[in-house]
Amino acid sequence: MNMTQPSCRLYSWVKKSFWLSFVLLILVGCGGKGPESEAELAVQGFLSGDISHDGRYAAVGSIHHGGSLWDVAKKERLFDWNHAAGEKSLIRATSISGDGALAATSVEDTIVLWETATGKSAAFWKAPARILSVKLSWDGRYALLGMSNRSAMYFDMKAGSRVFTFDHQAEVRSVDLSDDGLWGITGADDLTAKVWNLKNGKQVQQFNHQNQIKTVAISSKGKYGFTTSQREDSIIWDLKSGEPVLKLPNRYTNFTVAGFSADEGKLLLGTFQGALSVIALPSGTVESTWQASPRKAYGGASSKAVIAAVFSSKKPGAVIALMTDGMLQEFAK
């Protein structure tokens, strides 16, 4: 029996884990380059936000001024979006469809579908419970809703009807859909993340953590999944086998945003401390790191947690991100 090969694999894994730990510690310590450009989209900060896949639009729910859609390149407000006339809605979950044509905003148990070209509302629906997270399908026809009633719902936004209900044992905090519309992932306070077949509604994988699941993501064709919770390793999973592909030491930071590249070869991560990084898959090589700049050193609007981030479609290697302090920031490779 050859005992050398397993030892080499163990050494390689330990070395990789040490390197990732080192990089993440640098991120927490404000390492990495700062933003290439930035713009204020909200005076007091965001409750929620999303950026379109191509980086053209940003949909945000601000603390005091309701919802709005922005042109990212021009840094220009296009439309104000609120759920009732004369009010500034507290929009706590937003999503833009993959093709950028539609956006969804939620307030408590209501969800509105908007046209990004005209700013007009296309549908208004009421969910069975308070909506905590939302993800629109590529064409905006369907939405996966994470809710406070210990379930997620796959919802037909055109027909206004439930397609499937996915059960958990606690509130569902994070959801995501594959771009091909075949797979969904849900993460909940019951310490589990589950992967679902969207054609038949059946569960295909379950990933267990020791703490509440805060952020989940799934790659464009369902090759990889990502799960993270507080004070334990974040994991990139092979969704076919259900086995870990890579473990990211996560003892010192909280990943608030995760998104895979269209070719499923990279993972973009954002943290509560405003750090962003790009990790190559499956090697785990950290290709880029950045650190967001807070608008203020302390007090109101001083937080710089990442609430949305995408790869730039115009600048290779660059990313665009929204921060809780109300800032849109762009980072160059």
CA distance 320 to 53: 10
Q: Can you give the pLDDT at residue 3?
A: 30
Residue range 107-121: average pLDDT? 97
CA distance 11 to 17: 10
Residue range 218-223: average pLDDT? 97
Q: In sequence order, which ranges of the chain are alpha helices (DSSP H)?
A: 4-28
**What does the mean pLDDT of the chain come to?**
89
Cα-Cα-Cα-Cα dihedral sign, residues 200, 239, 24, 249: positive
User: Could you report the per-residue pLDDT of 145-174, keeping only the tens digit for each?
Assistant: 999 999 999 999 999 999 999 999 999 999
Cα-Cα-Cα-Cα dihedral sign, residues 153, 68, 77, 260: negative
Q: Can you give the pLDDT at residue 18?
A: 38
How many beta carbons lie within 10 A of that of residue 265, not counting itself? Answer: 14
Concatenating the DSSP letter of every residue in 250-314 gives -SS--EEEEEE-TTSSEEEEEETTSEEEEEETTT--EEEEEEPPPSSSSSTT----EEEEEE-SS
* pLDDT exceeds cutoff 50 at 16: no
pLDDT band at 250 (very low <50, low <70, confident <90, very high): confident
Domain count for the chain: 1
* pLDDT exceeds cutoff 70 at 255: yes
* pLDDT exceeds cutoff 60 at 14: no
CA distance 308 to 132: 15
User: Could you report the per-residue pLDDT of 271-294, keeping only the tens digit for each?
Assistant: 999 999 999 999 999 999 999 987
CA distance 97 to 282: 27
Residue range 56-73: average pLDDT? 95
pTM: 0.89
- Percentage of the chain surpassing pLDDT 70? 88
Q: Can you give the pLDDT at residue 297?
A: 62
* pLDDT exceeds cutoff 90 at 219: yes
- Using left for φ > 0, alpha for ψ between -120 and 50, and beta otherwise, residue 242 falls in left
* pLDDT exceeds cutoff 60 at 45: yes
CA distance 304 to 230: 18
CATH number at residue 203: 2.130.10.10
Query: What is the span of the domain harbouring residue 192?
Result: 4-331
Least confident of 7-21, 26-40, 224-238, 302-316: 7-21
Residue range 187-211: average pLDDT? 97
Beta bridge partners of 234: 248
pLDDT band at 253 (very low <50, low <70, confident <90, very high): confident
Number of residues written out for the chain: 333
